[in-house]
Amino acid sequence: MRSKADHTAAIHDKRRAAVVVNTRSRRGRRHYAEVLRLLRAAGFDLTGIHQVTDPSRLRETLLRALSAEPDLLVVGGGDGTLSSSIRHVAGRDVALGVLPLGTTNNFARSLGLPLDLPGAIRVFTAGKVADIDLGLCGDRPFANLASFGVSAEVAGTVRPWLKRLLGRAAYPLTAMTILPGHRPFRAYITVDGRRHELLTHQLNVANGRFHGGWQIARDAGIDNHSLVAYQLGSGKRLRLVGETLVRATTGRWRSLAGGPFLTGREMLLETDPPMAADIDGEVRLRTPLVIKTIPNGVRVMVPQHFVDQ
């Protein structure tokens, strides 16, 4: 593979890019034509233009886009689309260019990207190639978050029209309808040989820095070679509601050293009862699971101020 500096220079100079836009995402259909206009105005030679209307065909679309061997794979969509894209970019001599067209855009926020289209595309022409960490839950790579509990039920039931109407507020609203009948579960997390036990309605294991559009902690990061496990609330529903509302209304952030966080490169997660995993918005796999980080596992375009470790 090229050095990151050579890869950056190739993208800036040659501007060969393939484009994949999920028009089923919150803003994908509305901004599809604008994406193409802005990329062409920025001087990009588009080796392929791919519109995804059926999510079940995303994989074959990504592989078709990559077959042209672009220097940059530009993907527009939400966190689920970008997580799927990362699996195919990992280990290749191609960088992922992110267009945040989803509801919460956690992955884009973790990279410090502008959330507007002109700003995101300026990163492709003025930014740099960085290699960031890749999460792995079982055998499934992920970009941002694996979560268990209420969120997995929310991911499986939240209505697309509600996400389009309310944006990220659709998730806590749907959670409030599920929570009254939700039973807490016991989780066992083994990190660095030590086993931790907790009772909760919601458990998250983050590779990135944001969840639900809000920052987890100021020193969490997507390129620090470490996962962060944390619960929201406890076994009591009201405490989960309270913490969710505080995060949603204040965006409060705190240091990993000052909160109930577990950190490590690899974690064994067991739950009683077995739980489904919500992996970047897609409900897949069940516990027990090994969750780990692959340091510098995938290349992406980021702003110049991004700290590449």
- Ramachandran quadrant class, 52 (left: phi over 0; alpha: psi -120 to 50; beta: rest): beta
Residue corresponding to tokens 């918005």? 281
Give pairs for 192-201: CB < 8 Å, separation 24+: 192/264, 196/262, 198/231, 198/234, 199/234, 199/235, 200/149, 200/231, 200/232, 200/233, 200/234, 200/235, 200/240, 201/149, 201/150, 201/232, 201/233, 201/234, 201/235, 201/237, 201/240
Question: Alpha carbon of 270 to those of 61, 171, 190, 237: distances in Å?
Answer: 35, 25, 9, 21
Task: Tell me the sheet residues that pair with 196.
Answer: 189
Position 70 pLDDT exceeds 80: yes
- Is residue 245 within 8 Å of residue 153, measured between CB atoms? no
Q: Where are the alpha helices (DSSP H) in 127-271?
A: 150-157, 160-166, 170-178, 237-250
Structure confidence by residue, pLDDT tens digits, 33-53: 999 999 999 999 999 999 999
| pLDDT tens string 221-263 | 899 999 999 987 655 555 555 565 555 555 455 666 656 789 9
pLDDT band per the 50, 70, 90 thresholds, residue 165: low
Task: Output DSSP code: residue 169.
Answer: G
